[in-house]
Structure 1
C-alpha cells in the first residue's frame, strides 16, 4: 500500500499495515539509526548555536554598560540651631558654627 510523500521519516520506517499483514512492517531503506544520528547532529548544532548566541549577548551587555560614576563624599556639618545635618557646601558659616538657613543663623545669635 503506497503512503503519501509528505509523511515523516519515522513513519516511513515503521508503518502499521492493517491490510496485508496486520503487523509492523519495516522499511529497510531508511534504518532508524541513520535518522537518530542526523537528529543528534542537528540537536547538538542547535545547542552549540544557542550557547554561542547567549554568550555573545551577555558579553555585549557587559561591554555596552558604562562604568559607574565614582562616588563623591562630602563633609557633613550640623546646624547650630536645629541640629540637623547637611552638606558643608550648603551650610551658612559664621565663625566656627554652621547653619542650615539664614533664619536659623539670625535666631541663634539672639
Structure 2
C-alpha cells in the first residue's frame, strides 16, 4: 500500500497507508487527520480538504482541472502548492507523497 505523509501546521508528521484508487482526502479522514474536514465528502464543492503538496512532489501530480482550480480560489491562504486532497487519486507512483496541512480550513 502506498504511504502518505501528512505534516500538520506545527510540523508534526503522520504517515498513513492508503489504498490504490482512493483519494488522499479519504485516506486522511480514515486515519484521523483532523485538518482535513472534507465537509462535501469529496465532490470538489467546498474546499475543506485543502492542502499543500510538498515541493518535491508538485511536478509529479496532474495539474488541477478547472473545477478544482475554481474551488482553490476560495480557500484560505492558497499558494502555488495548493490542492484539494479529494482530487488526488492514490497510486503506487504516489508512495511517500508528502502533504502539508493548513492551520485552518476557514
Give the alignment's TM-score, normalised by structure 2. 0.19
- Give the helix-richer structure, 1 or 2: 1
Larger radius of gyration, structure 1 or 2? 1
Higher relative contact order (CA 8 A, sep 6+): 2
Give the alignment's TM-score, normalised by structure 1. 0.19
